Amino acid sequence: MANKHLTGSGFDLPVAKETFDAYVADMGLSDRLTFAPGSFFEDPMPQTDVITMGHIVHDWDLETKQMPLEKAYQALNPGGALIVYETLIDDDRSQNAFGILMSLNMLIETREGFDYTGADCQGWMADIGFKDTYVEHLVGPDSMVVGFK
């Protein structure tokens, strides 16, 4: 198994623990991955070097979108990184039709959720204190925004 020196933790609602533990055990990673119960609406995130948030931030209005980013900043050790991946809309809103349709979908499924551009997320991160942010396209319609504390 690659990168045996790495360890990790999944931070999620307590109800997800059983599913998390079963999946981790099936992957043979129980000695490297642990579960940290909590809600970023109510609890601080565990201190760490890297935090990933996938398809989470687009669920809410602008103010609520910024809250988990702020909590991630507080939880990161100096030099740590936040990675946010979503179906980002391209900055000029002309190329990623799937991202624009996903934003419409979020407005239908949630009260105030919406997808956003990489530049939007970089701006929110910069306002919080993240440095050296960048956007990188991933496979398919997804991209990630990375910011360093």
Which residues are identified as catalytic?
A: 58
- How many angstroms separate the CA atoms of 90 and 88, rounded? 6
Distance, in Å, from the CA atom of 141 to the CA atom of 126, rounded to the nearest integer, reads 24
The type of residue at 45 is M
CB-count burial class (<10 Å; 0-12, 13-18, 19+) for 90: middle
CA angle 49, 65, 89 (to 5 degrees): 95
